[in-house]
């Protein structure tokens, strides 16, 4: 059985959401952040970095959200519902770009924003200005690409939607999503999915 190491209030709830969408059985090991908001030391028993998500399956320990998502889709999504059409190079390239986007360009400015919010004022002006500009750049890019589509890449849920939803939720928690109504509507749609609701219930968020 798949074992999921889940750190509460973090990225790994989206791994659990993916497992729920795939209808897979799994064992959930839940860790609680310390008073500094960091992962507890025992999470390092699962992986040397002590970060989450981490899964164990078929004798392997797999870290990094994107790698876990690709592994689960390659191994268990037998119908290929979360992937682009086979043999379509353009669709596959676009799918790969958006799959990796949430772990790269989109995440860093929101992380800076989160860290600045935890610091006492006055905030470093150079970092603050950079974070503000980058957050706006990324969220505008996301909204422009999403447009009126139901999902990132069209009319069905695919793997990039899990990371895209994570970025939207993070932006919402930081009070940054209000100027982007299409992203907010997209986030609300994904969070209303039964599999997402099950993930939230089982993980505690």
Of the chain, the end-to-end C-alpha distance in Å amounts to: 22
pLDDT at residue number 28: 96
pLDDT tens digit sequence for 109-130: 999 998 888 777 777 787 888 8
Whether the pTM exceeds 0.85: the reply is yes
Encoding tokens for residue 199?
A: 């993930």
Domains and CATH numbers, the chain: 2-81+195-203 (3.40.30.10), 89-193 (1.20.1050.10)
- Average model confidence (pLDDT) across the chain: 94
71 close to 157: Cβ distance less than 8 angstroms: no
Can you list the positions of beta strands (E) in the chain?
A: 2-7, 26-31, 54-57, 60-63
Number of residues that make up the chain: 205
Amino acid 118: pLDDT: 79
Average pLDDT (146-167) is: 97
| Mean pLDDT, residues 171-180 taken together | 97
Residue appearing with tokens 């795939």 = 22
Grade residue 6 by pLDDT with cuts at 50, 70 and 90: very high
Higher pLDDT, 123 or 193: 193
| pLDDT interval class at 36 (50, 70, 90) | confident
């Amino acid at each position: 059985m798949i074992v999921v190491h889940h750190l509460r209030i973090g990225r790994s709830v989206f791994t659990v959401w993916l497992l729920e969408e795939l209808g897979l059985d799994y064992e959930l090991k839940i860790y609680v952040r310390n008073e500094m908001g960091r992962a507890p030391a025992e999470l390092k028993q699962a992986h040397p970095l002590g970060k989450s998500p981490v899964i164990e399956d078929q004798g392997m320990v797999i870290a990094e959200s994107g790698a876990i998502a690709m592994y689960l889709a390659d191994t268990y999504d037998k119908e290929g519902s979360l992937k682009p059409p086979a043999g379509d190079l353009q669709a596959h390239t676009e799918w790969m770009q958006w799959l990796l986007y949430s772990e790269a360009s989109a995440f860093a400015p929101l992380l800076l924003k989160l860290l600045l919010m935890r610091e006492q004022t006055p905030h470093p002006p150079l970092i603050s200005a950079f974070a503000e500009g980058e957050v706006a750049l990324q969220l505008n890019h996301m909204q422009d690409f999403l447009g009126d589509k139901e999902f990132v890449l069209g009319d069905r849920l695919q793997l990039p939607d899990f990371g895209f939803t994570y970025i939207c939720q993070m932006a919402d928690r930081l009070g940054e999503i209000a100027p982007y109504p299409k992203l907010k509507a997209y986030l609300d749609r994904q969070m209303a999915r039964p599999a997402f609701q099950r993930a939230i219930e089982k993980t505690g968020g």
